[in-house]
Structure 1
Amino acid sequence: MSSSQSDHVFLVLSHPINQQNASNIDNLQQIKSIYIFSNKINDEGRWTRNIPNYINDQNKLALKLHKDISPYRQEPFPMSILNVTNDEKSLQDLDEDSQKYIWYYLLFDVLKHMPGSDSSDAKKDMIEMCKNEFKLSDNGITALEDYERSTSETQSTHPSHILWYTKESFLHRTLDKAIRSQNISHIFNFRFFINGIQTQLLELYSQSTAFNNNEHFELITYRGQVILSNELHSMRKNVGKLMCVNSFFSTTLEKEVALGFMRVPTSDVKRVLFIITANTEKAVSQPFAQISSASFFPDEEEVLYMAGTVFRIDSVQMTNSGEYYEIRLILNDKNDEKVKELLGSIKHQLAEENSFITFGDFLIDLGRTDDAQKYCEMMLKKIDQKHYGKAIHPIYVYMYNTLGQSFFVKGDYHKARERYQFASKLSFQNQGSRQYTAEDSQALALTCTNLGLVYFQLQDYGTALRYFRQARDIRKDPRYPIDEVRLAKTYSYIALSQKGMGNKEMGLKTAEKALKYAKRLPERQAVLGWALLSQAACSRSEEAEKIYLEALNVFESGALPKNHPDLVYFHLQISKLYRNLKEFKKAEEHDQKALFICKTRNENPTAIKLCEEYITLDKNPPARKYSI
């Protein structure tokens, strides 16, 4: 024990200790407290500073340990400060905290909307994960078995997930760890537990409002703890902004109880008391409730907020006594309005409304392709076709497209093609099986576009052109609303494919169609950049440079983030032009920019290799010209 100086030890003994042992214990600074759990209550053996009293009741011992240990569970406070402004240009332009908030929001939204028939599988997944992936002690195994039994439908129609969350058990710790570490697999496999807690919070909230004659009021709760100095600094400089707590947030109605959860501050950690004012009307959109009736510790008057709740930081001030900081948080309607702006912008950029689809696309846009692949594979296993009737729901088509995209951006075009082809097969299965919808149509158009992009990368321009034309015809179908953004981009792809087949004249005419649609759209749309790019690629060399630079201006004005993978293709295209014009320094400048994007995203070794080959050509140019 003397070698583990950073540990905090709480020692429970079944008998008193003598004076010599007490002296040895006093020299071990890791031991924060000692408890004598015995039916024999006397003063014998009270030789050390660490024994506040003897305890002869198991429940009282559990309560005492819970209260004493909690202040020492020091981990980084799981918060994200949301910088919601009106001039956010793209997903990648958001700061890390805002991206993290969206990550949590979308994943929890996915879990919340899993089909009801998934409940049995969800519980099974959770139990199997706990048994297979966590090294459980005997007590942990017993707790898991008790949890499995107590949440069985034969045992209770209203299992108390909150009881198990508030217990001192591995379930609480492993769930919190999974959420804090953004472990997609673990969080997904905990969906039975997470959804159970959320459902119970809403039930307790409903009971509370019924008791108060459905009247809403402001609830004030408290939470005492220590936080890292840099976390306190972040809150102080962001007063007035929104803060998301990326885990379950436990508070109490009793200020004195909250103060009891603080411990002595150090140079690295500061004592804080959160004072939360919450409008109870918001408990529907951001669930919270007084959980004493369901908690393992009913005397703490606990109010639990759902993971992902967003508060506004109202103030951060040191108390007059100088003992701790008071951090006032507010939960109200204005928070919702700001968050909706942020989420609406992101879903618009990803062109999706369904969180099932948006989350996968979001992960790919962040460059987290392995997580996107893992997510799609988990979802495809769990969202079985039977949940949506006999026909294949378009969500499966979208999921396989996202899965294909996770391989595509890594340069694994053959695996991407396999997933896109399967998505295409699913789409065609639907034709004739039920009424074909606009959503089916758009899913098939997306699949054809993605197949075209794969064949384009494989330099099979004829096959690429065939798929792009199919996508165009689907998008122009008068039976469904026309998406002019995607139609314009499809025309750009057709033009580039025609150019790849050696028909620049036809490509130029098609690029003009892309421009016609693109110019009708709002400014700063990436699709205008693509239309100009396709026009430049099909133009004569003396005209192409000006058009390429016009496209670059569109992209750099905010249509695309600086490290977007589409810019790799753009820079490589213009570098070919400059090499053909024997302006090798300009060519190298664009190849270096493409290489920088590839290395920043660190996901496509094929593209990195191509950039490096082009840079070698720039530095050691051969005598011949290049086909552009």
Structure 2
Amino acid sequence: MDRANSRVLKNPEENLELFTLIWLDANVNSTAENVETASKLRRIINFLKLFDNVSDCEWYIKDIKQEKVVLIVSGSLGSNIVPNIHNLQQVDSVYVYCTDKVKNRQWSEKYKKVVDVITQPDELVTKISKDQLYRNKVEDLPSVAVYDQTHKNLSAENGNFIWFQLFIETLVRMDNKKANHKILSQLMTQHYADQTIIDEFVLTYRPENAVWWYSRQSCIYRILNKALRVQNMDMLFNFRFLIADILDQLKAEQNNFKESKVKLYRGQTMSLAEVEKMRKSIGQLISINSFFSTTLNRDIALPFTKSIREFKADIQSVLFEIEANTRLKETKPFALINHLSFDGKEDEVLFMLGSIFRLVCVEFDDKKNIWKIKLVLQSENDHELKTVLNHMKKDMDDKTSLLSLGILLSNMGELDQAQKYFYSVIDDLLEAEDQQIASCYHELGKIARTKGNYDDAIFLFQVSLDLKSKYFAINSTSMATTYANIGNTYMCKCEYELALKNYTRCLDIFLATIGPNDVMTAQVYHNISSIYRLQGNFDLARATLEKSLNIISNKLPTDHADFALLYVSFGELYNNQLDYKQAICFYKRALDIQQKTLPKNHKNIGKTYGSIADCYSGASQYSEAVESFQMALKICQNALPLSHPRIKQTEDRIKSVTIEDEIDQRQWCAVTYNNAPWLKIYDIIMNFLNIIAPFTINLISTILILHRVTQSKINVKKQEKFSNIIEQQLMFHKHLIINPLILITLTFSRLIISLVSVCGKETKLSYVNLFGYFISFLPPALTVFVFVTPSITNNSEFKTFFKRTRTFKWFTTLKNRFINA
């Protein structure tokens, strides 16, 4: 077995098929009858798990993500577990296997997923075997990706559409002579007790009978279909020889159609939710990401539409009507396979996986109680991303390799899988000292940098440089790309001088070899602009970015990922200059491209959401900032290791604009009136009026009083100097000045907090806010002391009043006591 394939063999505890059979019974392993029954059940659903306690079984079921569960449970334990797991999406069917049918029907009747209550082992095996035929029919649906051309739902599926097409293209271009089908058989041997089919596969498989093996309803068919459905890259890699052989057979047979156009049919059942999804996608393109079996005969397709309503209430009968132009170029191949298939079905037509159709209409036939979905086969050049997809295909070699596959997976964000393939290449070629080893270390360095392991990345890049120096000239473009990546890593470490040194070295090589107008040269200009930006040289940064943009505008399609990277850099430049509106505009242009061309959980999409959130936060648009930060965090948690610094940084940024309410278990965020700026102006004006206005009026009144009194004194005492009179009056009326000064001092903290504070969770900030808030209430609480104490007259009157009040109170108390006595 070669090392590359040994790395992708699966854990025997992993289910390779869609259904998992679980048997929960306290005595499940205690009787010979149960052991024999378990053996028979495993022939129906290969993956069988046995449990004798509720808690372990319930935990296992809840942890299942990609399979459907068929549960067999005893009556005594069923009443405990079924209420807890019945509504889980992964639970498909439940069978109660017991000794008292009447008693257990009473509690189980209210649960729709309980198919039957059974008392005999043979009856149990027969019932599950019969029902499993229907289950396979319902669940064995083609994997469909909707490509939205309206931009109303930019999404995720558009990016997956492109990358899955590229992944399959990479697999079928690989040199599959080394793809020994015995490797796949060894994998299946670990999972299947019955080796009959596997042994036959090893002995009889040939490229010319690939369709025969696929169309046979065996474990090979079920494993491949599940791998396509969940896009299990490792498993599809193991099946690459079978996929490539089927492709070759369909290509060879496609020209045998006599008619230029054919009408095809496919009958199946679908959930109501899936039908609704189709109805909402009318007019869009759909990619069938699995092999798609159809027939020329409508009557053959119709029986497959029969609903299994006693099994699933929401199952709908669906008939696909497909128009296909047999002369249409640039399509995935399709062909009549009567003479190639296992059972020789008449008029069967098989489409290659990845075939693209336009969804014309979805209608319900009331008379026949069936949904009709009309599709038209489309050329691969009929969608707006054709330029990007074709450009990416051109970048591939005619013959791809494990290294090519690793690079593709790395670009898709599947870092762990890519890393595995790179190490496989190194293991295989180490003794041969192949130059691909240097490329693998280069790619491993990029992965380490993406994961935040910057020192490891620099080490790996240096190893790559040392190896490349054996095969390439010192001024080769291969060496230059590694210098550029070392520069990128030093950028991440904020060591800008070292980054610029490596970028400059790379640029010098590119200018001397590929010239100033190459895309790779543009990428280096792009990187250098980031250094200028971080050093505060914004004009030079913008000029360098524009130079990069001019180059790629003449070389790449407008939806290429390099445009997104440039728009992000423009956004960062304007963000640094505090021009948040312009920055958000560029970030959103980048996000538009990323959502169309990258997988939905790609790290770059998460990073762009984080940048948008930073701009919203800087512009005091906190609710929008929190929403974008949460999107960024969700993507980063899926795309990056949990220890990656970007995850912690994003969590901290969310906390900086929100307050955690641990009592009510919610987050509060600051809200601003961004759509009504006049409200913010009004709020500022009212704050000034409430705090500054009383002080101003009081001060003006004091000045007027002092001026009037001083003027009167001068008229009476003409011999006295004006300055002396003013000084006397200031001393006498000092309370009129002291009072407003005390008021404005105590309330000024409240004015500052209302204008500059932000929503936060910092401990120090919360104490400052609290202290300032309480100080602002001191003026009304100390009114008597503030206005009375500084004035001699007011103070004298206050004391007199206090004495009179105290004397009156003493007299009244004495009088009351005398009367009561």
Normalised to the residue count of structure 1, the TM-score between the two structures is 0.69
Given that residues 229 and 269 in structure 1 are in contact (C-alpha distance below 8 angstroms), is that contact kept between their aligned partners in structure 2?
A: yes
**Structure 2 partner of 1:83:** 148
1:25-174 matches, within 5 Å, as 31=127, 72-75=137-140, 77-85=142-150, 94-115=154-175, 118-132=176-190, 135-138=191-194, 141-151=195-205, 159-174=208-223
Q: Name structure 2 gaps, 5 residues minimum.
A: 1-36, 38-70, 74-91, 96-117, 596-603, 657-759, 766-821
Change (3 A) 1:196 1:242: same
TM-superposition CA deviations, 1:122-154 (whole Å, max 9, x none): 43432332234xx1132xx221221122125xx
Match of 1:373 among 419, 429, 434: 419
C-alpha separation between the residues in 2 aligned to 1:27 and 1:364?
51
Match of 1:405 among 446, 453, 466: 446
**Structure 2 partner of 1:44:** none
How far apart are 1:291 and its partner, in Å? Answer: 0.7
Change (3 A) 1:179 1:415: farther
Change (3 A) 1:124 1:426: farther
TM-superposition CA deviations, 1:59-100 (whole Å, max 9, x none): xxxxxx9xx768734245421111125x69xxxx84233233
Code of the aligned partner of 2:229: R
Given that residues 567 and 589 in structure 2 are in contact (C-alpha distance below 8 angstroms), is that contact kept between their aligned partners in structure 1?
A: no
TM-superposition CA deviations, 1:387-415 (whole Å, max 9, x none): xx99746xx76665444333322212234
How far apart are 1:101 and its partner, in Å? Answer: 2.3
How far apart are 1:368 and its partner, in Å? Answer: 4.2
Given that residues 175 and 190 in structure 1 are in contact (C-alpha distance below 8 angstroms), is that contact kept between their aligned partners in structure 2?
A: yes
C-alpha RMSD of the superposition: 4.6
C-alpha separation between the residues in 2 aligned to 1:200 and 1:424?
44
**Structure 2 partner of 1:40:** none
Q: In structure 2, the residue corresponding to 1:338 is in which secondary structure?
A: coil
Q: Give yes or no for the alignment of 1:545 onto 2:688.
A: no
Change (3 A) 1:97 1:167: same
**Structure 2 partner of 1:414:** 455
Change (3 A) 1:71 1:376: same
Q: In structure 2, the residue corresponding to 1:322 is in which secondary structure?
A: coil
Given that residues 397 and 423 in structure 1 are in contact (C-alpha distance below 8 angstroms), is that contact kept between their aligned partners in structure 2?
A: yes
How far apart are 1:194 and its partner, in Å? Answer: 1.1
Match of 1:447 among 461, 473, 482: 482
**Structure 2 partner of 1:6:** 93
How far apart are 1:105 and its partner, in Å? Answer: 0.8
TM-superposition CA deviations, 1:347-377 (whole Å, max 9, x none): 7699956688897677556654334434655
Q: Give yes or no for the alignment of 1:465 onto 2:521.
A: no
Q: In structure 1, the residue corresponding to 2:369 is in which secondary structure?
A: coil
Match of 2:544 among 514, 534, 538: 514
How far apart are 1:553 and its partner, in Å? Answer: 3.8
Q: Give yes or no for the alignment of 1:272 onto 2:318.
A: yes
Given that residues 451 and 464 in structure 1 are in contact (C-alpha distance below 8 angstroms), is that contact kept between their aligned partners in structure 2?
A: yes
Code of the aligned partner of 1:123: H
**Structure 1 partner of 2:385:** 342
Change (3 A) 1:315 1:593: closer
Code of the aligned partner of 1:174: I
Q: Give yes or no for the alignment of 1:556 onto 2:588.
A: yes
How far apart are 1:324 and its partner, in Å? Answer: 1.6
**Structure 2 partner of 1:41:** none
Q: In structure 1, the residue corresponding to 2:165 is in which secondary structure?
A: helix
Given that residues 587 and 612 in structure 2 are in contact (C-alpha distance below 8 angstroms), is that contact kept between their aligned partners in structure 1?
A: no
Code of the aligned partner of 2:566: V
C-alpha separation between the residues in 2 aligned to 1:241 and 1:568?
27
C-alpha separation between the residues in 2 aligned to 1:532 and 1:200?
50
Code of the aligned partner of 1:194: I
Change (3 A) 1:408 1:124: farther
Code of the aligned partner of 2:306: R
**Structure 2 partner of 1:540:** none
Q: In structure 1, the residue corresponding to 2:605 is in which secondary structure?
A: coil
Change (3 A) 1:347 1:390: farther
Code of the aligned partner of 2:334: F
Q: In structure 2, the residue corresponding to 1:226 is in which secondary structure?
A: strand
How far apart are 1:173 and its partner, in Å? Answer: 0.6
Given that residues 243 and 312 in structure 1 are in contact (C-alpha distance below 8 angstroms), is that contact kept between their aligned partners in structure 2?
A: yes
How far apart are 1:168 and its partner, in Å? Answer: 2.1
C-alpha separation between the residues in 2 aligned to 1:301 and 1:318?
26
Match of 1:292 among 332, 338, 350: 338
Q: In structure 2, the residue corresponding to 1:99 is in which secondary structure?
A: helix
C-alpha separation between the residues in 1 aligned to 2:302 and 2:279?
21
Change (3 A) 1:418 1:308: farther
Code of the aligned partner of 1:114: M
C-alpha separation between the residues in 1 aligned to 2:361 and 2:347?
25
Given that residues 564 and 589 in structure 2 are in contact (C-alpha distance below 8 angstroms), is that contact kept between their aligned partners in structure 1?
A: no
**Structure 2 partner of 1:191:** 240
How far apart are 1:460 and its partner, in Å? Answer: 3.8
Code of the aligned partner of 1:555: Y
Code of the aligned partner of 1:300: E
Code of the aligned partner of 2:223: T
Match of 2:365 among 309, 312, 319: 319
Q: Name structure 1 gaps, 5 residues minimum.
A: 9-21, 35-49, 51-64, 153-157, 538-543, 623-628
**Structure 2 partner of 1:530:** 569
Code of the aligned partner of 1:476: L
Code of the aligned partner of 2:239: F
Code of the aligned partner of 1:373: Q
C-alpha separation between the residues in 2 aligned to 1:70 and 1:365?
37
Normalised to the residue count of structure 2, the TM-score between the two structures is 0.54
C-alpha separation between the residues in 1 aligned to 2:298 and 2:141?
23
More moved, 409-418 vs 306-315: 409-418
**Structure 2 partner of 1:424:** 465
Q: In structure 1, the residue corresponding to 2:160 is in which secondary structure?
A: helix
Q: In structure 1, the residue corresponding to 2:353 is in which secondary structure?
A: coil
C-alpha separation between the residues in 2 aligned to 1:381 and 1:287?
36
Match of 1:258 among 276, 301, 314: 301
How far apart are 1:597 and its partner, in Å? Answer: 2.4
Code of the aligned partner of 1:217: S
Aligned pair count reads: 522
Given that residues 350 and 361 in structure 1 are in contact (C-alpha distance below 8 angstroms), is that contact kept between their aligned partners in structure 2?
A: no
How far apart are 1:257 and its partner, in Å? Answer: 1.6
How far apart are 1:293 and its partner, in Å? Answer: 0.7
Given that residues 71 and 263 in structure 1 are in contact (C-alpha distance below 8 angstroms), is that contact kept between their aligned partners in structure 2?
A: no
Given that residues 515 and 532 in structure 1 are in contact (C-alpha distance below 8 angstroms), is that contact kept between their aligned partners in structure 2?
A: no
